């Protein structure tokens, strides 16, 4: 806060002012305010009262000069302009805010040079810890070496297994998706995947196949249907699938966007969803999923929880709890009409 004149700096009220008004010494005022035990209750009350009437706010810089903690953490994002980092950011902000930590935001625009620069800046500002948020779930280079504070990697795990990373469980996502379709009585499932360079695409495929395996089934059209994360790709694949004449009763799509394309094309091909074909996607992007025709079943990656968990881990690490592991965030199926009546 500021003084009555609404200014910082010279004009603002300091501990000395509070002490003066309370009629005690600087040291006593400090102890009273910081809840130290060696001060009479009565005195403490006086000080607190004085602090309140002056609307005293301790200068964080003077404080940080002695303390080891600064109460701020650095958030280093690779690409803010990405709808996946937003929920992570949100979750982290939520968790930190609850613990009265502030977050310093830096975005690297997916550029290593900028990342180095921002890293320097954050460390210069003496952040207590670092949260590194990736652009994809592909493992990314570690920055932990030589960094004097704890680092937690979210979304994109670190390549170094000695680091602490949190990433959504894409294998489990693939598995759950298939299990959901199986539970709806589907047996001939095709998978229209996204870009092969994304480990999310690969991992979901692995999960899906293993779930199918256990049921003695395999993917209609084969496991190699990689392409783009776009509606266009979804449409093209459905058309190709129909053209082959191979029967199928479900399409698992690598993303909600792909699923939207698939839905459109199925309609044009005269296939009813979910009667003839069940369709589901990944990400549970509400804007796309809820207004699809019919509303789209999707796997929610629980990104906000992931961000929250990462923040909590970081706080723990700052408090000295050394951890190094790769943690997988829980995911869940959100059923809607596209895979059958509820």
Partner DNA sequence: TTGTATGCGTTATCAG
Partner DNA sequence: CTGATAACGCATACAA
Q: Which chain residues interact with a copy of itself by CB under 8 A? A: 1-2, 6-9, 57-62, 64-65, 68, 70, 72, 75, 80-81, 83, 86-87, 89-90, 93-94, 97, 100, 102-107, 118, 120-126, 146-149, 230-232, 257, 261, 264, 287, 291, 293
Distance from C-alpha of 329 to C-alpha of 310, rounded to nearest angstrom: 10
**Residue 1 Cβ vs a copy of itself, minimum distance, rounded to whole Å:** 6
CA dist 286 → 20, 21, 78, 251 (Å) = 58, 56, 24, 19
Instruction: Name residues contacting DNA, limited to 9-68 (CB under 7 A).
Output: 9-10, 12, 14-16, 23-28, 30-31, 33-34, 36-44, 56-59, 62-63, 65-67
Q: Kindly state the greatest CA–CA separation across the chain.
A: 91
Nearest to a copy of itself of 111, 159 (CB atom): 111
Q: Which does 339 bind (CB under 5 to 8 A by kind): a copy of itself, DNA, none?
A: none
Query: Which of DNA, a copy of itself, none lies near 138, with the C-beta cut-off 5 to 8 A by kind?
Result: none
The smaller minimum CB distance to a copy of itself, of residues 104 and 206, is found at 104
Q: What is the rounded (10 degree) CA torsion for 312, 164, 80, 149?
A: 80
Least separation in angstroms between CB 183 and a copy of itself: 28
Shortest Å, Cβ 89 to a copy of itself: 7
For DNA, the closer CB: 7 or 232: 7
Shortest spacing between CB 230 and a copy of itself, in angstroms:
6
CA dist 278 and 296 (Å) reads: 10
Structure tokens at 281: 């996607």
Closest CA relative to residue 18, chosen from 43, 37, 39, 36: 43
Judged by CB, which is closer to DNA: 5, or 245?
A: 5
Residue 264 touches which member of DNA, a copy of itself, none, C-beta under 5-8 Å by kind: a copy of itself
Q: How far apart are CA 147 and CA 123, in angstroms?
A: 8
C-alpha to C-alpha distance for 75 and 23, rounded to whole angstroms: 43
Among a copy of itself, DNA, none, what binds residue 41 when CB lies within 5 to 8 Å by partner kind?
DNA
Question: Encoding tokens for residue 149?
Answer: 């504070």
Choice between 1 and 105, CB closer to DNA = 1
What are 278's strand-pairing partners? 250
- Please report which helix (H) or strand (E) contains residue 180, including its range: helix 170-183
Applying CB under 7 A, what is the total number of residues that bind DNA?
A: 34
> Closest CB to a copy of itself among 123 and 327?
123
Looking at the chain, which runs of residues are DSSP E strands?
72-77, 102-107, 130-133, 151-154, 164-168, 189-192, 250-253, 278-282, 297-300, 326-329, 332-334
SS3 label, residue 223: coil
C-beta of 27 vs 62, nearer to a copy of itself: 62
**Interaction of residue 148 with DNA, rule CB under 7 A:** no
Shortest reach from residue 339's CB to DNA, in Å: 57
* Positive or negative: CA dihedral 196, 264, 135, 207: negative
Interacting residues toward DNA by CB under 7 A = 9-10, 12, 14-16, 23-28, 30-31, 33-34, 36-44, 56-59, 62-63, 65-67
């Amino acid at each position: 806060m500021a003084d009555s004149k609404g200014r910082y700096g010279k004009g603002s009220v300091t501990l000395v002012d509070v002490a003066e008004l309370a009629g005690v010494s600087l040291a006593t005022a400090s102890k009273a305010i910081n809840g130290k035990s060696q001060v009479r209750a009565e005195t403490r009350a006086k000080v607190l009262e004085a602090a309140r009437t002056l609307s005293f706010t301790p200068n964080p810089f003077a404080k940080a000069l002695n303390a080891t903690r600064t109460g701020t953490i650095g958030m280093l994002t690779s690409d803010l302009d990405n709808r996946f980092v937003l929920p992570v950011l949100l979750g982290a902000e939520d968790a930190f805010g609850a613990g009265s930590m502030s977050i310093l935001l830096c975005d690297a625009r997916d550029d290593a040079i900028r990342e180095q620069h921002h890293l320097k800046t954050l460390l210069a500002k003496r952040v207590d810890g670092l949260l590194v948020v990736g652009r994809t779930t592909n493992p990314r280079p570690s920055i932990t070496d030589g960094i004097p504070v704890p680092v937690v990697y979210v979304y994109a795990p670190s390549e170094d297994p000695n680091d602490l990373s949190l990433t959504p469980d894409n294998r489990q996502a693939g598995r759950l998706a298939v299990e959901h379709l199986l539970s709806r009585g589907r047996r001939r499932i095709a998978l229209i995947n996204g870009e092969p360079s994304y480990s999310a695409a690969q991992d979901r495929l692995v999960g899906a196949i293993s779930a199918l395996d256990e049921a003695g089934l395999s993917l209609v059209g084969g496991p190699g249907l990689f392409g783009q994360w776009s509606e266009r790709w979804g449409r093209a694949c459905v058309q190709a699938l129909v053209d082959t004449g191979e029967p199928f009763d479900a399409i698992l799509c690598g993303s909600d966007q792909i699923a939207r394309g698939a839905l459109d094309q199925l309609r044009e091909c005269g296939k009813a969803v979910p009667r003839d074909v069940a369709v589901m996607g990944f990400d549970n992007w509400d804007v796309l999923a809820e207004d699809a025709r019919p509303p789209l079943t999707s796997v929610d990656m629980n990104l906000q929880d992931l961000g929250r968990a990462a923040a909590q881990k970081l706080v723990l690490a700052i408090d000295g709890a050394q951890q190094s592991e790769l943690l997988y965030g829980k995911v869940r199926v959100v059923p809607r009409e596209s895979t059958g009546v509820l």
